[in-house]
Structures are given as structure tokens and as C-alpha cells.
Amino acid sequence: MSGEQRQWGGRFAAGMDALTAAYTAGADQDLWEHDIAGSVAHARMLGKQGIIVQTDAAAIIRGLGEVLALFQRGEVVWRPELEDIHTHVEVLLRERIGESAGRLHTARSRNDQVGLLNRMLVRECCDEGIRGTTEFIEVLCGLAEAHAADPMPGYTHVQRAQPVTLGHHLLAYGEMLLRDRDRFIDCRKRVNVLPLGSGALAGSPYPLDREMVAAELGFESVSRNSLDATADRDFVAEFLFACATTQMHVSRLAEEIVLWASAEFAFLKLPDAFATGSSIMPQKKNADVAELARGRTGRVYGELIAMLTTMKGLPLAYNRDLQEDKASVQAARAVVIPTLRIFAAMVPALRFDLPRMRVAAGQNFSLATDVADYLVKKGLSFRDAHGVVGGLVRECETRGCELAGLPFPVYAAASPLFEEEILLLDVDSALAARDIPGGTAPRQVRLAAAGLRAQLRS
């Protein structure tokens, strides 16, 4: 390829080996819209500041519009020897307006141009993450309200512990996703700083109006340090962390869907639209969507670790290692955003076996803590109450019954504080008793869902 087509070709007498061209090519060929938008804003500012003449600025802007139309119609053939999207756009521009195209690169470097493209990409990805988490939270709030009073067993150590409601359980994921949403919002704030004008590393000797470019491209501020602006990829790592955490949260839900759909739990049935079968076992219905979400989580973790590992040894300012950032962003985005969308569609279609979950909520001595709390309210210390109820559980194991199956004389023999009303304790009364903010009482679940929705709108 000729030196005229490469942005840096003048220094080199010999051509580039084809292996080098392929190995050094960027992963940005789909980012033409961002690159062209940045170039239009830069050209308009160059003309307004008199850095290039207005006729050249107008020709460049017009030509970029034509190049944009080529990409939109799918008429651009990708040429690996042109390295990246920036050179493709400039070469296509030169083919349309001639020598004036060379003035577009005035007062900018590939380094701050790349930084701009990265920030526009990550900003767009953050917006997708915000939308995806918001939609999923809305779905979970609706389900929580519908199941605010439906009991299910709560677990610790994967052992039945205390009754909760299905709505309360689902809202736990709503809270996780709200934090994920906040992380995307917070990341977007730090992304939204214009690096263009930083040059290769030292700033620009031209009278740039950086605020003008920032305003046109939707950036809230301009960078304060040219070295940092060209070398910074914190926002990439931050976005990847937000993706990794979001995918981890969905993976936890995916694991529960897999378990609950098993014959051992049988808490739910998978909808046909979101399940697959077996090539050999006709009876099988597999939770492949959940399993794939769980399996792909490691890929998102890998992109975060790759970015952090790249950054840890880089001196200031720009190094070519940083080219790998876009591939990591795109790879994480390609997992997380579709995962949020499919779960928002799948979870409402799950068919919960509410009677079975209600029965399970009252089994395995799940009301033992409530019996202990009954004694505490009668004046016994919790430690002593714990010991009394532990003895009752042993008696139940001997008799092969639940606490509700013990006759009252057994309770009375264990503690004179028991009255026959203890026999009225059940799952619903245990749930209703937890009527404090954050509790699993049906009223609190409904309030929590409303509160979660309110935060989405604040």
C-alpha cells in the first residue's frame, strides 16, 4: 500500500509485510458512524476557527456525508491494508473531494482520534446497559407484585432456612440490577469527556475550540491533561467491570432457574420458547438459555482481566497495546446486552408451581426461628430460646414430623412460656410478621417494588 494511503507512510521506504498488515489491523470496522461524526465536528471547528479555510471545511463535511451514505448502503468493501476505520474513512473521503481531504487530520492525532472513538463507543454501550437493566428491573417488579404473597423456601448454604415470598426473592435480583444500572450510569459520566485536542500526547499548537466539538458530540467536558487523555482506558475497564458484575448477577438467577426447573426442586416449568430438547431422550426439556448465560459469564470476566492486565504495565502515553480495548468492549457487549434482553423476555414466561413452593416453604423446620422469636417476645433470651427450639427439632426428628405436628404438651414441657396459640403459627403468619422495610411481608414486597420503580424514574 502506498504511503499516501497510510497516515504515517512518509517515513518508510519499504512496504509493509502482509502478515504485519493483518496482525496490526484494528477491530473497529463497524464503528464508522462514530468516526464520521467525530470527523464532521472536527472539520466544522477547524473551519470556524480559521485553521483551515471554510471552503475546505465545507467540502470535507459534504464528502463525509457521502462516505456515511456509502457505509449505510453497505457499499464499502473492507480493505485490511488500510489498518482501521479512520484510514478507510479518509481514503474514501479523498476519493470524493481530492486533496482537501488531507486537511481533515489537521490538529489531531490518531491517538486522540482513537480516544474519541473509544469514548463514543463505550458511551453507546453504557446506554444499552442502562436500557437493558431498566427493562429487566421493570419485569421483575411486575412479577414481584404478582407474587408478593406467594410463599417459597428461602435458602442459606443451599439448605432450606426460612420462608420468604417469591416476590421478595425476585426483587433481590431487581436490587442487584439496579446497582448494575447505576454502575453503567456512573461509568457513562466518566466516559463523557472529550479527548480530541490532546494530539498525540502533548496537546495542540492550533487555536482549537474544544468546547464547540464537545457540545456537538454530546460530551459534558473536555480533558484536562493530554497525556492522560490519550493513555486513559480506565473507562473501558470500568465498563467491563459493570458488564462482568451484571453478567454475574444474571448468572446467579440462571443457576436458580436451572435448579428450580429440575425434578428435585420442581418449582417451575420452562416455557417451550426458551428451552431445548435432547437428541436422544424425548422427555427432556433443558434450560439452555440459563445455562448459556451462566457459561458465558467467564468470557466477560476474561475481557475485564485482559484489559486490566494490558493497562498494568504501560508507561505514558499511548501504546499500541491499547488497540485491544475495542475488541474487549465489543465482546463483553455481545454477551451482556443480549443476555439482559432474553432474560427480560424469558423470566415472565416461567410457570411457577406455587402450591409446591408453598408446601416446601413450611418444611424442614423452616419455622424454627419463629418459634424461638415467640419465646423471646415472652421474655426469654434468644440464646436460651434457641436451645429450647433445638430440643423441639430433635423431638420432631424422632417422631418424624414438623414443628406444627407436635402436640401442645410437648411444647409446654419444653418451656412454660408456650401457650396453645403456638400451634397457630404457619408460613403466612411468619411472612406477615416481617413487616419492616426490607422484610418479606407481602405489604413490604409491594412497597419495595414501587420503590424500585420510583428509582428508575428519578
pLDDT tens, residue by residue, 332-359:
999 999 999 999 999 999 999 999 999 9
Sign of CA dihedral 341, 342, 345, 351: negative
Residue 180, domain member (yes or no): yes
Report, as an integer, the average pLDDT of 396-413.
Answer: 96
pLDDT on residue 12 = 64
For residues 264 and 327, membership in a common domain is answered with yes
Q: CATH number of the domain that 78 lies in?
A: 1.10.275.10
Whether residue 4 is predicted with pLDDT greater than 50 in this model: the reply is no
Residue 292, domain member (yes or no): yes
pLDDT on residue 128 = 98
SS3 153: strand
pLDDT on residue 9 = 58
Interval 204-213: pLDDT, tens = 999 999 999 9
Q: Which of 58, 77, 106 is the last residue of a domain?
A: 106
Is residue 336 within 8 A of residue 184, CB to CB? The reply is no
For residues 212 and 343, membership in a common domain is answered with yes
Share of the chain above pLDDT 90, in %: 91
Domain of residue 83: give its range: 9-106
Residue 2, domain member (yes or no): no
Alpha helices in 100-165 (DSSP H): 110-146
Catalytic residue positions, numbered: 157, 278
Report, as an integer, the average pLDDT of 182-208.
Answer: 98
For residues 45 and 124, membership in a common domain is answered with no
Better pLDDT: 82 or 448: 448
For residues 285 and 339, membership in a common domain is answered with yes
Interval 256-283: pLDDT, tens = 999 999 999 999 999 999 999 988 998 8
Is residue 37 within 8 A of residue 89, CB to CB? The reply is no
Q: Which of 332, 355, 378 is the last residue of a domain?
A: 355
d(CA 147, CA 149): 6
Domain count, the chain: 3
For residues 404 and 453, membership in a common domain is answered with yes
Report, as an integer, the average pLDDT of 147-163.
Answer: 97
Residue 155, domain member (yes or no): yes
| H/E segment holding residue 161 | strand 159-165
Phi/psi of residue 146, each to 5°?
-65, -30
For residues 140 and 157, membership in a common domain is answered with yes
For residues 160 and 281, membership in a common domain is answered with yes
For residues 211 and 66, membership in a common domain is answered with no
Is residue 371 within 8 A of residue 395, CB to CB? The reply is no
Whether residue 7 is predicted with pLDDT greater than 80 in this model: the reply is no
* Structure letter (DSSP) for residue 314: P
Residue 43: how many other CB atoms lie within 10 Å: 26
Q: CATH number of the domain that 295 lies in?
A: 1.20.200.10
For residues 88 and 176, membership in a common domain is answered with no
Alpha helices in 263-352 (DSSP H): 288-311, 325-346
Report, as an integer, the average pLDDT of 398-404.
Answer: 95
In the block, residue with C-alpha cell 416449568: 269
d(CA 104, CA 107): 8
Cα distance from N-terminal residue to C-terminal residue, the chain: 54
Q: Which of 59, 80, 106 is the last residue of a domain?
A: 106
Whether residue 3 is predicted with pLDDT greater than 50 in this model: the reply is no
d(CA 92, CA 85): 11
Report, as an integer, the average pLDDT of 18-29.
Answer: 76
For residues 96 and 81, membership in a common domain is answered with yes
pTM: 0.93
Q: CATH number of the domain that 444 lies in?
A: 1.10.40.30
Average per-residue pLDDT in the chain? 95
Phi/psi of residue 187, each to 5°?
-60, -40
Whether residue 422 is predicted with pLDDT greater than 70 in this model: the reply is yes
Contacts 24+ apart (CB under 8 A), 378-384: 378/417, 379/417, 380/415, 380/417
Residue 4, domain member (yes or no): no
With vertex at residue 282, the alpha carbon angle to CA 280 and CA 286, rounded to the nearest 5 degrees, is 90
| H/E segment holding residue 449 | helix 442-457
- CA distances in angstroms from 66 to 37, 40, 43, 56, 281, listed in the order given: 13, 12, 15, 15, 57
With vertex at residue 52, the alpha carbon angle to CA 51 and CA 58, rounded to the nearest 5 degrees, is 130
Q: Rg (Cα) of the chain, in Å, rounded?
A: 31
Q: Can you spell out the DSSP letters for 14-71?
A: SPPPHHHHHHH--S-TT-HHHHHHHHHHHHHHHHHTTSS-HHHHHHHHHHHHHHHHHH
Is residue 2 within 8 A of residue 9, CB to CB? The reply is yes
SS3 7: coil
Share of the chain above pLDDT 70, in %: 96
Whether residue 26 is predicted with pLDDT greater than 90 in this model: the reply is no
3-state SS string for 328-392: HHHHHHHHHHHHHHHHHHHHHHCEECHHHHHHHHCCCCCCHHHHHHHHHHCCCCHHHHHHHHHHH
Report the DSSP beta bridge partners of residue 351: 269
Residue 3, domain member (yes or no): no
Residue 182: how many other CB atoms lie within 10 Å: 14
- Name the maximum alpha-carbon separation found in the chain: 100
Say if strands 151-156 and 159-165 run parallel, antiparallel, or are unpaired.
Answer: antiparallel
- CA distances in angstroms from 223 to 96, 191, 308, listed in the order given: 33, 11, 22
pLDDT on residue 18 = 74
Q: Burial, 55: exposed, middle or buried (Cβ in 10 Å; 0-12, 13-18, 19+)?
A: exposed
Residue 111: how many other CB atoms lie within 10 Å: 21
pLDDT on residue 25 = 73
* Structure letter (DSSP) for residue 445: H
pLDDT on residue 212 = 98
Is residue 249 within 8 A of residue 177, CB to CB? The reply is yes
For residues 86 and 220, membership in a common domain is answered with no
pLDDT on residue 225 = 98
Residue 256: how many other CB atoms lie within 10 Å: 17
Is residue 206 within 8 A of residue 141, CB to CB? The reply is no
For residues 337 and 227, membership in a common domain is answered with yes
pLDDT on residue 438 = 97
